[in-house]
Amino acid sequence: MRPYSAFGHLAIVAIGTFILTAAGCSTPSEREQKVAGTAAAADEKPEPMSSSNILFVIETINLGEAEQAELALQHSQNEEVTELARRILQDHTASTQVVNELGQGMGTEEGASSSISDGIQFQANAFLEDMAGLTGYEFNKTYLEKQVVLHGVALDVVRTQLIPNADERQVLDYLEKYHNMLEAHRKQAQQSLKKILESRDS
């Protein structure tokens, strides 16, 4: 057993080549092939996961979202983007504190990763690569597009992979709250993206 550490591992969900489309990738690559290899993860029968595996997935989603929000706050001056990024950073940082408390209470074994968390780590790296070099409108639009897609994927993972495996009441209760948080983030990202696209067209 080891203590549960915040942000101990990097992860974000890689499920479906549609993520690559939203990311703006147009040519086949090793990255596309790897993501395609995990494309159906959220739709498949849940793989067996312990509470430690579940908390690990939440932790890695939190880290990825926090890093993405920090990037947006560093590179965007658009109010829609920065407002969403601040909310995401605050909420996922607070979530990590809760995950730490849960993990410390029940402990966690070494090697709590899973195929889900492996895909998460890959997608986190892909996000940073795709955002590199973008500025202004393209940065803002792409960031919001990605938040809509990635939060949708995270919602699918929570609903189809994590909740079915949660056999401890406190973990299940938190997953339900976490799902609601992700849904609120996605809705705000959708609304912000709509405003940015409309302002561009006007």
For 102-132, the DSSP string reads HHHHH-B-S----HHHHHHHHHHHHHHHHHT
Mean pLDDT of the 35-60 span: 73
Higher pLDDT, 43 or 121: 121
Is 2 in contact with 110 (CB distance < 8 Å)?
yes
Please check the confidence at residue 174 and state whether its pLDDT lies above 60. yes
**66 assigned to some structural domain:** yes
Which phi-psi region, left, alpha or beta, contains residue 45 (left: φ > 0; alpha: ψ -120 to 50)?
Answer: beta
> Is 25 within a domain?
yes
Q: Which domain holds residue 114?
A: 18-201
CATH classification at residue 46: 1.20.1260.10
d(CA 9, CA 15): 19
Cβ neighbour number for residue 86 with a 10 Å cutoff: 13
Rounded to an integer, the average pLDDT of 58-81 is: 96
pLDDT at res. 35? 45
Answer whether 49's CB lies under 8 Å from 165's CB.
yes
In a domain, 9, yes or no: no
Residue 4 lies in a domain: no
Report the mean per-residue pLDDT for the chain. 81
Contact 61, 14 (CB under 8 A): no
pLDDT at 122: 86
Q: What is the pTM of this model?
A: 0.79
Would residue 192 count as lying in a domain? Answer: yes
The residue among 99, 67, 71, 73 whose CA lies nearest residue 181 is 99
Res. 161: pLDDT tops 60: yes
Does residue 150 sit within a domain?
yes
The pLDDT-based confidence of 66 (bands split at 50, 70, 90) is: very high
> Span 108-127, mean pLDDT?
81
**Domain assignment present for 73:** yes
- pLDDT tens-digit series, residues 79-115: 999 999 999 999 999 999 999 999 988 876 655 888 9
User: In the chain, what is the straight-line distance between the N-terminal and C-terminal CA atoms, in Å?
Assistant: 58
Q: What is the pLDDT of residue 2?
A: 34
The total number of structural domains in the chain stands at 1
Residue 186 falls inside a structural domain: yes
Q: Residue 7 has what pLDDT?
A: 31
Which of 18, 36, 29, 56 has the alpha carbon at shortest distance from 129?
A: 29
- Averaged pLDDT, 38-50: 64
Question: Would you state the structure tokens that stand for residue 51, as one six-digit string?
Answer: 């509470």
Which pLDDT band, with edges at 50, 70 and 90, does 41 fall under?
A: low
